[in-house]
Structures are given as C-alpha cells and as structure tokens.
Amino acid sequence: MEERILKAHGLNIEEYRRIVEFIGREPNEVELGVFGALWSEHCSYKSSKPYLGVFPTKADWVIQGPGENAGVVEIDENYAIAFKIESHNHPSYIEPFHGAATGVGGIIRDILSMGARPIALMDSLRFGDIRRDGTRKGIKDTKPIVKRVVEGIGFYGNCIGVPTVGGEAIFDEVYAGNPLVNAFCLGVLEKDKMYRARATGIGQKMVMVGSTTGRDGIHGATMASAEFSTETESKRPNVQIGDPFFGKRLIECTLEVMEKGLIEGCQDFGAAGLAGSTSEFGAKSKMGVKVYLENVPLREENMSPYEILLSESQERMLYSVKDENVEEVLKIAKKHGLEAAVIGETTDTNRMEVFYKGQKVVDLPISAIVDDAPVYNRPTKEPDYLKDVRSFEQDKLQKPDLREAILKVISSPTVASKEWIYSQYDHEVGTNTVFKPGSDAAVLRLKWVVRPEVKTEKGIAIASDCDGKKVYLDPYEGGKRTVLEAVRNVYITGAKPLAITDCLNWGNPENPEIMWQFKMATQGMADACRELNVPVISGNVSLYNETVLKDSRLNIYPTPTTVAVGVLEDYRKAIPSHYQSVGDVILIVGEVNTEPNVAGSEYLKEVHGLVSGNITPPNFEIEKKMMDFVHRNIGKIKSAHDVSDGGLITALLEPTFRKNRFFGLSLSIDTPYREDFELFDELRSIVVISTDEEHLKKLEKSAQEICVHINVIGRVLSEDKLILSINGKTVIDEPISGFYRAWKEGLERWIY
C-alpha cells in the first residue's frame, strides 16, 4: 500500500500491516477508510489511553462513568445529571463558524443519547494574543477567528434553545496557530431511565433518525488527529456543517421515543459517522451489525459507499428498536419533520457487515475496528525548557509602578471583561439561569426537572477552568491546580462538588517531551480528584494541537480543561461572586499569611514579559477547610470570589464591576512581603468574601473553629473611589471608574 494513501487515512505502514494480520487479507478502500477513522487518535486514544487509567471514576453518586457518550451522577433519589466536555479545535481553526457550531451540536447529542434533556452549555476557548494581529507570518490573525467562533457558538446554542451559561476565554500567543474550542453540555434525566449506546438483543433494528447524509465532514476524525500546516485551507471539506433547527427537532423526537419506551439504546453520529456509530454500537452490545447503505437518506446525488459510511453530517442519531416498535418510531420521527430509516440490524456474528445495493463493501471483525486499535506507549522525556523556567528568581524582578501594573493586568484580554463574548449567547432561555456569565460559576435552578409537576429547590453549579501556563511550568502541580480551581469555583457558590469532566488538549504525542507533560499532568489531576473526592466521569483527549511552520513547530501549552459540577440543596441560597451592598465588610480567607509566589501569573506575563517560575504545590488541607467554612456559613456570606487569574487585586476589584455600574472600595492590606507579589500572586488558596456587620463576628468565630485564617481588609463604598493602603500607606486614591473602564474595554478595544 502506498504511503501517500495511508497518510490520507491517518495510518502508517506498521498499522496497515496490523490490519492485514487481523483480517487475513488486504482491506478494500472502504474498509481502509473505516480503520483510518476508528484508529485515529480522535476515536481510539491510542497515545493517551495508557495514562487515562489513573483517574478515579467511581463514587456512591456516580451512575455512569467514562465509556459512554456522557457521564451521569445522581442528584437525589429520582433524578440525575449527565454531562461531558469535548474538543472541536481543528475544525474551528479551518472553518471557525461551522467548527464551533458543530462542536456545540455534537456535545448536545452526546447528552441527549443518555436520555437527558440538555439544559445548559458552556464553552472553554483559547485564542492567540489578539493584540499581535498583523505581526505573524504563516498564521491567521486571531480577531476574525474569535468573531466567527463566538458567532458559531451563539448561532447554534441560541437557535436550538439551550442556554450558554458560562465558560472562559484565554488569549495567549501559543494558541495563535491552533485555537482551542471545547464545548460542554449538561442535561437532566430520571435516573432509572438512562439509555446507553447498545442494543439489548439480536435482530433489533438500527434506525437512523435526523438529517440527511451529505459529503460534509468526511475524514473529520483523521483531520482532527493531525497537526496543522500551510495546507490547512485544503481541509475545509473535512468540517461538518450543522443545522440547529434540525437539532431541536431531534431532541424532541428522541426524548419522545425514550419517554414512550420505544427504543432500547441510542448513539449519536459523531466522529467517523455511520462507521463509528454502528461499529461502536455493536462493540458495546457484544454483537455484530449489518448495515444497508442504500437505505440511508441522502442529500447529495451519486454518493459512494465510502462517502456514505464516513460522512460526519450533523443532527443524526442511531436507535436500536425492537421489530414491533419500528413503525411507531418512524411515525414519530416523521411527525417531527425528520428523516428516518431502518439502516441495519444487530447480529450474532460480532462482525461489521456493510452492504450497498446487494454488494458487501465491508466485512470486518468489530473487535479489530474498535477494541484492537494500536495502543502506543510513546517515549517520555522531561522537557529541557524546565531548567530555564525554574531558575527564575522573583526577588530579582524590578518593582513596577503599582497603579500601572494593576491596569496592565486587568486590561489584558485574558483577565478583562468577556461581556462582548457572552452577550452574544442566549444564557436565559429556559429561565433556569440563576447566576449569569461573568460569575465564578454558573448556577441553574431545577424548578422543573423532567416533568413540569415536579417541584424542587435544588440547583446545579458549573465551572470551567485551566491555566495552561501553570501546567507548562509544572505539569504535575499545574494538573492539580486545574482541578482545584474548577472545584473551588463550584464550592464557593455553596454547592457540593460531585464530579468533573475534562478535555485534555495537548501537542504532538510523538514528541517525548509532550508525552512527559501528559503523563505528569494526568497524574496530578488524578491526585487532586482523590484529595477533593471528585471522580472523573467523562472527557475527551485532543492531541496534535500544533502548527508546522517552515522552520519550526508551534505547540500549544498543555491545556487540560476541567469542568466541575456540584449540587445545591437550595438554589435560592447560592452565593454570588459580586459584592451586594454598600457598607459590607470585605475579608480574605485561606492562605492569607503565607509567602506569595507570582510564578506563572498574568502579572509576570503582562508586566515583565515572562512565563517562568516554580509552581508551588496546593495545600489541600487548607482547601478542604475553606470548603467547610463556606458550606457552614451559607446565609452569612454575601459574596465569594476566588483568587486566580490576575491575583488578589483582581479578585478584589472584579466583584465591584457590574454591568454599567460599579461600587467603590476602601482596602487596607498588611503584608511583610513585596507589595506587587502580595497583590498579584495566583497560587495561594484564598477566597475573597463579603458580609455585613451583623455576621462578621460569627464568620471570624467559624474560621477560628475550623482553623483557617481570615482577615478583614476593606469595605464596599458607594462613591466612585478606589482607596488602596498597604502597610498603612495609601498607594492609590482615585476614581475606581478608570479601573473599570480598563477592565471593561480590555478585550473589546481589540475586537471592534
């Protein structure tokens, strides 16, 4: 087999020989396409699988862990939530609008296939430094990518009627050639009505429901498993095109046939299209499948078996249906305006047999396609760059003008207001959104869960987090911190963290330094999950996030995006991120008396142009005490905001900034350490809270009982003032409106 042909299918010569050995002959073109898609990194996890087993995946409240379309945890005796995050990185660089839109559509179908009604979306985005547009060679400008990605997310979510309730957006030059678009969805279901991607018996019909099949998305899985280069534009046909109106019909149709008990299992059409959905269906069912391609509803003429089988056209689902229910399922699909057809059946052969007009075009053992993909224990090597970045000595930094440093940090696109982004999303459709985008975590009420007659005060808190700089500087400690910060953002709302889902975005796994990062970061994440009792119930791996230039390769930072989900017993008692009232007292809780460290901070990057330093290990004992403190004092704490991007000063300022209005602040900080380090450290476990005079003493007593430090450092003012005193000396006394404008316009000024 020619190497050129194998490369087009994402295979190498050793893998081809393995295929021939498994099936006892050379594969035909269609079979080669099936192997290329199902053995891709995107589908088989052949480079990452050796390390994913370190994650804890079980807890008393976990109903479904990794291995299905989404994970599921129970929230009470009757109901559960399903959630997952996935990447759509490569498509979103090649065609930002459709790449981002279909990322949203795909993750919604993952949740739907579990039997859950999707009720919330989040997006975690990484782009190049938008301020450097016009200076790069061989790489697209960031601004048009940002605009089209945001437009695509808003288009799909708004049209399908699922609110986008939060997320994050980071701007760093390492993502300029390879933006990250990670889409998260959460849904609610009755826990005894969960569906899985499998049939329950031999001879059950496989019914395809949804949109017609076209030529869009062919080779999408293999394209997502390779690096970018100057030939990227030629890959546009690999990007799927979504239709959210069909997506909405598909939601209602699928929930109806599930509610009526007409189907046995459900699988969405994602990567590898019909080849992926049917073969995975057979593998999970421990059965074979027969597929009849002439029955597949098409939108284009003269499509070949290869194209029909590997198309990744959107808005399609596969149901397993007993004979007696087929007609009713087809009737319901037609009622919803969807295409529907019986395209195959389960068999006892454990083989994937595909026919086209009487001719068998695929005849393969399902185990070879799904279970026997190669698994690579790739070489690992500690990166050479670590010696340089860890030799950094922060005490040698020149002291900046504090006012100018604060303005630089809060106006950086990463820290600045993201209102331009989230204002394009409908975050209130469904009227369940309690805390809107811009808070540490989104909070949703479940005023109705699945049935309108069910009344409940329970709520859900969701937060996404990852600082790739810190993972780059220390993959193990940085991996811990991405879990910790997502969990912290959930628990400071008053919610009990239940589980996480992660999207592991990395560079080229064939580079030993990249795989060393991956190995260490996943171990760090796993250790943090155990410390915080939050299992990993679902996730995704995205590798080859690099761009090949004429004389170099640009890898992204290792970016293990983590979404934590928790449950609130009463959403009405959820703790907001923003200050609530003039005169309220501001306190900091946690590691308030320990030495600050600006390693990997936005301050170090923006003010000194450095990404360096040693990432200190998080103190989980302190973190668990802080969680206990917050949960004990729900009702006494009026606001809570964690210290992360931008450091303590950012965490103190941001809660004053509300849409088109702001409070003033009077702050007095005492510290034996350098002023800039105290203000901009991002590594200590600290939460900024506010309360009223009535509850101040109670909070101080509670902190003393738990043995966690707490300091009063300021008050909320009514006037347009920022008064900042450090060790008794006033270092800033001016209108806070200037800082608000810097924060508000930090991203917008580069977009318009």
Q: What is the CATH number of the domain that holds 743?
A: 3.90.650.10
Q: What is the pLDDT of residues 309-342, one digit of tens each?
A: 999 999 999 999 999 999 999 999 999 999 999 9
Cβ atoms of residues 133 and 141 within 8 Å: yes
Domain that includes residue 213, residue range: 195-373
Residue 10 lies in a domain: no
Residue 370 is given by DSSP the state: I
Query: Is the pLDDT confidence value at 222 over 60?
Result: no
Average pLDDT, integer, range 124-147 = 94
Annotated catalytic residue within 9, 42, 90, 578: 42
Annotated catalytic residue within 88, 98, 219, 427: 88
Q: What is the structure's pLDDT at 111? A: 97
Give the pLDDT band (50/70/90) at residue 223: very low
Residue 36 lies in a domain: no
Taken in order 234, 237, 243, 249, the sign of the CA dihedral is negative
Residue 545 token pair: 């996030």
Cβ atoms of residues 101 and 89 within 8 Å: no
Residues 392 and 473: their CA atoms lie apart, in Å, by 11
Q: What is the pLDDT of residues 279-318, one digit of tens each?
A: 999 999 999 999 999 999 999 999 999 999 999 999 999 9
- Both 620 and 528 in a single domain? no
- Both 595 and 697 in a single domain? yes
- Both 55 and 139 in a single domain? yes
Decide if 42 is catalytic: yes
Average pLDDT, integer, range 20-31 = 93
Residue 334 token pair: 């037609």
Of 341, 373, 405, the residue at which a domain comes to its end is 373
End-to-end, the C-alpha distance of the chain in Å comes to: 51
277: region left, alpha or beta (phi > 0 left; psi from -120 to 50 alpha): alpha
Task: Report how many domains make up the chain.
Answer: 3
Residue 410 lies in a domain: no
pTM: 0.95
Angle between helices 475-491 and 620-632 (to 10 degrees): 10
User: 503: part of which helix (H) or strand (E)?
Assistant: strand 496-505
Q: What is the pLDDT of residues 73-93, one digit of tens each?
A: 999 888 999 999 999 998 888
- Both 615 and 748 in a single domain? yes
Decide if 641 is catalytic: no
- Both 589 and 723 in a single domain? yes
Spatial CA neighbour of 15 closest among 38, 243, 81: 38
- Both 558 and 428 in a single domain? yes
What CATH number should be reported for the domain holding residue 482? 3.30.1330.10
Q: What is the mean pLDDT of the chain?
A: 93
Residue 180 token pair: 């990250």
- Both 562 and 582 in a single domain? no
- Both 252 and 103 in a single domain? no
Of 548, 574, 600, the residue at which a domain comes to its end is 574
- Both 303 and 175 in a single domain? no
- Both 294 and 431 in a single domain? no
Q: What one-character-per-residue DSSP string does 17-78 give?
A: HHHHHHHTS---HHHHHHHHHHTSHHHH-TTTHHHHTTS----TTEEE-BTBSSEEEESSSS
Residue 428 token pair: 């209130």
